[in-house]
Amino acid sequence: MNGSELKILASKMAGTKNAVIFTGAGMSTESGLSDFRSKNGMWNVEDPMELATTTAMRGNYDKFHSFYSRRFEAMGNSRPNAGHEIIAEFESRGLVKCVITQNIDGLHAAAGSKTVYELHGSVNKVRCMDCGAPSTQQDFIGRNPCAECGGRLRPGVVLFGENLPEDALKSSWDASETCGVFMVLGSSLQVSPANQMPSMAKNAGAFVAICNRDVTPMDYLADYRTNMGIGEFLMKLKAELE
């Protein structure tokens, strides 16, 4: 990476004015939330196949509930970081058309981003496991039953073994196919469909930028690649776009 490459990325963004930002867990580490697959990531400490699954939810609700209660608490204490805020500012300036995120923490919306596709759902949505009636985080944490049917509550996040929300997925594919710049921030791009969107964008003619600490399997198609911290990277990009 050097300064002239960053200038090219900035000029593509300014010229096309419809960048798509794709974010993963690395986006929120600067807000104090742990990521999943890096060395100290959550999945190296706890086993997702025991906790974030439909099997755990139905077969071991106590453990499932305790895991998500702890995650909710961590997220409740977190705030958007400088990177989230710069992305929201880019959107308000017409440089970014949407954010596609694998994160469930709601921090993009909290920072002011308007068009956010949450591929893995959101902690801000809780519903009944049985009848699907909406409920609240407080009721989930307090282990209150569903007000409609007395069933148990669950977070509105996508568990292993569940499908991604169709609307968010379709909007994300459409956006990837029609953007001038596709920018990955803090995703290891190891799970589907995250690992397909950059190549779809690239095939449709987009400039692909990847900012991630570790290598990703999609690095080969990046027009711009950096392992800078996301906050630092976005501040430099913003300075180029002043």
Active site positions, annotated? 120
195, two tokens: 């690992």
Own/partner pairs for 54-59, CB < 8 Å, 24+ apart?
54/159, 54/160, 54/161, 54/162, 55/161, 56/159, 57/129, 57/154, 57/159, 58/129
Burial class (CB in 10 A: 0-12, 13-18, 19+), 40: exposed
Nearest approach, Cβ of residue 130 and Zn ion (Å): 5
Nearest approach, Cβ of residue 168 and Zn ion (Å): 23
With tokens 């930028």, the residue in question is 209
Residues in the site for Zn ion, rule: CB under 5 A?
128, 130-131, 133, 146, 148-149, 151
Q: Give whichever of 139 and 223 is closer to Zn ion, judged by the CB atom.
A: 139
Q: Give whichever of 119 and 128 is closer to Zn ion, judged by the CB atom.
A: 128
- What span, in angstroms and rounded, lies between the C-alpha atoms of 33 and 26? 9
Bridge-based pairing state of the strands 153-157 and 121-128:
antiparallel
Q: Give whichever of 112 and 151 is closer to Zn ion, judged by the CB atom.
A: 151
Nearest approach, Cβ of residue 146 and Zn ion (Å): 3
Read off φ and ψ for residue 196, nearest 5 degrees. Answer: -105, -30
- What span, in angstroms and rounded, lies between the C-alpha atoms of 48 and 66? 13
Nearest approach, Cβ of residue 151 and Zn ion (Å): 4
Q: Give whichever of 92 and 138 is closer to Zn ion, judged by the CB atom.
A: 138
